[in-house]
Structure 1
Amino acid sequence: MNKLNYTIIALLFIVFLGCKDKNDNFVFLSIEQDVELGAQVSAEIENDPTQYPILDEEEYAAAYAYLGDLVDEILESGEVEYKDEFAWEFKIIADDSVLNAFATPGGYIYVYTGLIKYLDQEDDLMGVLGHEIAHADLRHTSRNLQRQYGIQVLLGLLVGENASQLESIAGQIAGTAAGLSFSREFETEADAKSVDYLAKTKYACNAAASFFQKLIDQGQAGGTPQFLSTHPSPANRVEDINAKATEVGCETDALNPTTYEDFKQLLP
């Protein structure tokens, strides 16, 4: 198919179908392709246990059950647009040296033991989970791909051409998943969305700010992990998250249940 035909299809999508998703964003990858891409990325990750030593779900069933309850709290908030379409599977990666978490397209969430042990309370982890679920739900990776590859390549995927391209893209994402970097715009969107999610739960709706605040308090703001990026700055993000919480008018007092320490003890 030549460039002109791709352009015509693009215009048809924009004019007649709109190409807008549930979050009112123009995304040329279909939801089905988001799901397929996420599944392929997940498979690539699980096939690389050296880089991604994922805890066995049977051996660490109690830890997975605990984390699953937290994820369900967010999914049942009524604010996750693709709650029913995406997989929403989660894995724990055993590496205490890494303060990280990341999400793939289609709702596959990965959290490192290093981050879990660094956080102080359940609310803090809920803030991280809300942020990562937001990246998937807002389709940030797919929107990045749209910017990186352009409409022509993505339209080829939509019409069934370049079948190997999706697999190639999945491999690229999996290879850099732990270090995924999003723009200032996308990080700000994910921060704000986490407030919306948690506002409908029993947790502090500004919980995503607590991680940044701890980094600031410990003088580590310059070493913010990739998953939460350094742009905007930690101080600005704390301010923006708290401002969003004030705007929403939601609860900002943390539960701080002692069960979080019990959860940490379930990990290797």
Structure 2
Amino acid sequence: MRKLNVSVFLIALLSTFIFKACKDKNDDFVFLSIEEDVELGAQVASEIENDPEQFPVLDEAEYADAYTYLNGLLDEILNSGEVAYKEEFAWDIHIIEDDSTLNAFATPGGYIYVYTGLIKYLEQEDDLMGVLGHEVAHSDLRHTSKNLQVQYGLSFLISLISGNNSSDLTKIAGQIAGTATGLTFSRAYEKEADDKSVEYLAKTPYACNGAYSFFQKLIDEGNTGRLPAFLSTHPNPEDRVEDINVKADELGCDTNPLNPASYQDFKNMLPN
């Protein structure tokens, strides 16, 4: 029994050094390594790909023009100089065909999914850029990984890092994929993602408060009850609008929409 306790202590001590080595670029303590984030994200993407009934992802070859357009928007954010894990993460974006759903979500490792319903609801390219910035931030700030370490605890993470349970990442990937459309984060994480979206867009030609106009449309139409999961944590959309605009004021960035006509062309590329 004493030997076992010593072994556990040594593993815990070793894991402490590992965790310190894996401390992320945002100075938050994240137990999972970057490599594990990437592996987990790839497995979640595989689970989603193998479940076309729940996730009818548009084929990249058939809708090549739409994906080229969307990847161009994503590249604007990735090239802003503000994305910490630009080189390490996959930054793989997909379109899910569901016109009735206003949603988007991101998984660890930079896998992003946007629903056709959200794309068609948004009125201009700047709006979509605000949403994409928000989702990039969730991946780049490693919010899902931080949630996992709270949910599963230190003993699980020690086991994961030591390689004793090789199937654990697969199990977690399945759980994340199964609840992907309803992924929720704390109010603090949502605000952090909103703020980052402004910071990303401030280094692009787009309105840095792009996410604001989406909220405002929901408010103006009285559709706050339709808030998608990725924006529903905060109980007051009006406060969310104010916070985004306050952040833009703090940065002194351009809030004039670029609004190129090509956004309507992009919508027309999607299934009717």
TM-score normalised to the size of structure 2?
Answer: 0.94
How far off its partner does 1:156 sit?
A: 1.5
Map of 1:8 onto structure 2: 13
Deviations 1:195-223 (A, max 9, x none): 11000000000111111111110111133
How far off its partner does 1:18 sit?
A: 5.5
One-letter code aligned to 2:191: T
One-letter code aligned to 1:8: L
Map of 2:247 onto structure 1: 244
Map of 2:185 onto structure 1: 182
Deviations 1:82-112 (A, max 9, x none): 0000000010001101100000100000000
Q: Equivalences for 1:136-151 in 2 at 5 Å?
A: 136-151=139-154
2 CA distance for matches of 1:169 and 1:149?
Answer: 10
Deviations 1:118-169 (A, max 9, x none): 0000000000000000000000000000110012211221121211111100
Map of 1:119 onto structure 2: 122
Q: Equivalences for 1:50-61 in 2 at 5 Å?
A: 50-61=53-64
Map of 1:102 onto structure 2: 105
- For the 8 Å contact 1:93–1:113, the answer to whether it is kept is yes
How far off its partner does 1:12 sit?
A: 3.5
- For the 8 Å contact 1:222–1:230, the answer to whether it is kept is no
2 CA distance for matches of 1:85 and 1:157?
Answer: 20
One-letter code aligned to 2:17: L
- For the 8 Å contact 2:78–2:86, the answer to whether it is kept is yes
Mark the runs of 5 or more structure 2 residues left unpaired by the alignment: none
Map of 2:263 onto structure 1: 260
1 CA distance for matches of 2:86 and 2:76?
Answer: 12
2 CA distance for matches of 1:260 and 1:12?
Answer: 48
Mark the runs of 5 or more structure 1 residues left unpaired by the alignment: none
How far off its partner does 1:54 sit?
A: 0.7
- For the 8 Å contact 1:6–1:152, the answer to whether it is kept is no
One-letter code aligned to 1:245: A
Map of 2:85 onto structure 1: 82
One-letter code aligned to 1:36: E
2 CA distance for matches of 1:73 and 1:225?
Answer: 24
2 CA distance for matches of 1:141 and 1:132?
Answer: 11
- For the 8 Å contact 1:196–1:205, the answer to whether it is kept is yes
Map of 1:170 onto structure 2: 173
1 CA distance for matches of 2:114 and 2:128?
Answer: 10
| Equivalences, count | 266
1:25 to 20, 28, 31: 28
2 CA distance for matches of 1:240 and 1:206?
Answer: 10
1 CA distance for matches of 2:21 and 2:46?
Answer: 32
1 CA distance for matches of 2:17 and 2:97?
Answer: 47
1:154 to 147, 152, 157: 157
Does residue 38 of structure 1 match 2:41? Answer: yes
Moved more, 53-62 or 33-42: 53-62
1 CA distance for matches of 2:225 and 2:98?
Answer: 21
2:199 to 193, 196, 199: 196
Give the fraction of aligned pairs with identical amino acids, expressed as a percent.
Answer: 69
How far off its partner does 1:227 sit?
A: 1.4
Map of 2:213 onto structure 1: 210
- For the 8 Å contact 1:135–1:141, the answer to whether it is kept is yes
How far off its partner does 1:9 sit?
A: 3.1
